[in-house]
Amino acid sequence: MRTNIRHFLSIFLTIASLYGGRIHAQSGPKIATMDLKRVFDNYWKTKQADATLKERAMDFDKARKGIIEDYQKSNEDYKKLIESANDVAVSSEEKEKRKQYAEKKLIEIKDIEDSLRKFDSSSKSTLGDQQVRMRDKLLAEIKETIASTAKAGSYAFVVDTASESANRAPIFLYWDGKSDITEIILSELNRSAPVQRDGADKADDKDLKK
């Protein structure tokens, strides 16, 4: 904790030096606080993005189940071919044919296994990339609103009270709660939220998929 206090004091003193070395109620820079995590989680576009990702994940899961079904069927067919190839009632020539069919089926099984591995890797990468793009896009929009709100309120600095240091201790050690702009930012961001009509309509998420 002492390290955190020294780190905070260092930042604070740097701010003080930039503003003439004096920080007091009348002449010092105005500092606002906000909970970025709360803003991000409750932004209507974040919820829309989460729904889009879940829908995409469900599509991948459905496709994966189809591959699994093909894999299981091929394994069953392979077992039947092996059993028939060992049937003492058939000729040696027929046994050889069935063994060849079984070998081809085994190659098919290996191909499906390979396809499944590639599918899992690709789908995970695709979802991860889409999540990062959506997150970056939303954070950029939030930062724009923070900047405009800070300028309107003549705040020189906006500190994220939800941020934590490496040992999970809050970076911002004290605030009086009077200069918190979390709800102001949320209100501004959610001003453009689409009106829900009994859950019949889904919000347009085309801009989030870009």
Q: Across residues 77-84, what is the average pLDDT?
A: 91
Question: For residue 113, what are its two tokens?
Answer: 């296994």
Model confidence at 56: pLDDT above 90: yes
Structural domain boundaries in the chain: 2-192
Among the listed residues 179, 177, 165, the one whose alpha carbon sits nearest the alpha carbon of residue 5: 165
Tokens at 82, concatenated:
């092996």
Give the predicted TM-score (pTM) of the model.
Answer: 0.70
- Kindly state the helix (H) or strand (E) to which residue 126 belongs, with its residue range: helix 92-152
Q: Which residue has the tokens 């995409």?
A: 56
29: which DSSP letter? P
Q: What is the pLDDT of residues 180-204, one digit of tens each?
A: 899 999 999 999 899 876 544 444 4
Q: What's residue 19's pLDDT?
A: 47
Q: Mean pLDDT, the chain, as a whole number?
A: 82
Closest CA to 84 of 102, 72, 71: 102
SS3 164: strand
Q: What is the pLDDT of residue 55?
A: 97
The residue among 76 and 95 whose pLDDT is bigger is: 76
